[in-house]
Amino acid sequence: MNASDRTPADLLRSALAADPARPLVTFYDDATGERVELSVATFANWVAKTANLLQGELSASPGDRLALLLPAHWQTAVWLLACSSVGVTVEVGGDPAGADLVVAGPDTLEAGRACSGERIALSLAPLGRRFPAVPAGYADYAVEVPSQGDRFAPFVPVDPDAPALVVGGTERSGAQLVEQARADAEALGLAPGARLLSGLGYEDWQGLSTGLYAPLAAGGSVVLCRHLDRLAPGGLEKRVESERVTTTLATA
């Protein structure tokens, strides 16, 4: 990655320029049997579409706050980078009542209705399927995002020193987030091409860093696993081997 990168969106742009075809996020849900692998290019395309949805359809702008009520999931990772692209501050598990926008999954729809602003719902179903019926008070992400543009340009340049992420009561700017992600990558021994398997949730910095930011900062990739406890005995070892994992953080 480039030393001049100061936001997560910068890190993604550098990864795209370096090797768009390499894997970036491989997601497993061991409750459903789902496996999704996204190259840097495919992930960046999802981020661009989601950022266009945020900036265009939802009228989000730098300084707005988005309550992100989603578990560790590849689509959650997309939203984190899309918000960085626009300059929207992500509050992971934040209070919807105090947010300008909310993004919720099937288990957090009721809580999300406390937001008086725009509300987006994700089914988190395999293959990114739509809800059978759009939840009341929400727009369905799977309905809204496909028609968005494949390239994104912010209306206003993103300030690296502006708040970018709030998790566990700690606020980080984009620059601070990138700096911490680089430090975490170094502490984990991640080098370009490293492949980290994480079974941690996204509810705290450790889970977010190992499950997205540190591998991205290192020029590596992540195998993000949800519901690892559903794996059969020996399943984790087989996955580590088949996915060519170099570092494993299955639990905290």
Q: State in Å, rounded, how far the first CA of the chain is from the last one.
A: 27
Q: In what order do the strands lie in the sheet with 247-249?
A: 34-39, 23-29, 221-226, 195-198, 247-249
Domain of residue 52, CATH code? 3.40.50.12780
The pLDDT tens digits of the residues spanning 191-229 come to 999 999 999 999 999 999 999 999 999 999 999 999 999
Taking the CB of residue 240, how many other CB atoms lie within 10 A of it?
A: 17
The pLDDT tens digits of the residues spanning 2-51 come to 778 999 999 999 999 999 999 999 999 999 999 999 999 999 999 999 99
What pLDDT sits at residue 224? 98
What pLDDT sits at residue 170? 98
Is residue 3 in some structural domain?
A: no
* Average pLDDT value for residue range 125-151: 96
Question: What gap in Å lies between CA 201 and CA 168, rounded to an integer?
Answer: 13
Average pLDDT of the chain to the nearest whole number = 96
Is residue 1 in some structural domain?
A: no
Confidence of residue 66 (pLDDT cuts 50, 70, 90): very high
For residue 65, what are the contacts with CB-CB under 8 A and spacing of at least 6?
A: 88, 89, 91, 94, 98, 99, 100, 101
* Average pLDDT value for residue range 86-110: 98
Note down the domain range covering 188: 8-249
What pLDDT sits at residue 252? 53
- Torsion angle of C-alpha atoms 103, 107, 109, 115, degrees rounded to 10: -60
What pLDDT sits at residue 127? 87
User: What does the block give as tokens for 26?
Assistant: 């491989």
Confidence of residue 97 (pLDDT cuts 50, 70, 90): very high
- Say whether pTM exceeds 0.95: yes
Is residue 162 in some structural domain?
A: yes
Task: Count the domains in the chain.
Answer: 1
106: alpha, beta or left, given left = phi > 0 and alpha = psi -120 to 50?
Answer: alpha
Residue 1 has pLDDT above 90, yes or no: no
210 closest CA partner among 192, 231, 225: 225
Is residue 2 in some structural domain?
A: no
Taking the CB of residue 242, how many other CB atoms lie within 10 A of it?
A: 9
What pLDDT sits at residue 194? 97
Is residue 161 in some structural domain?
A: yes
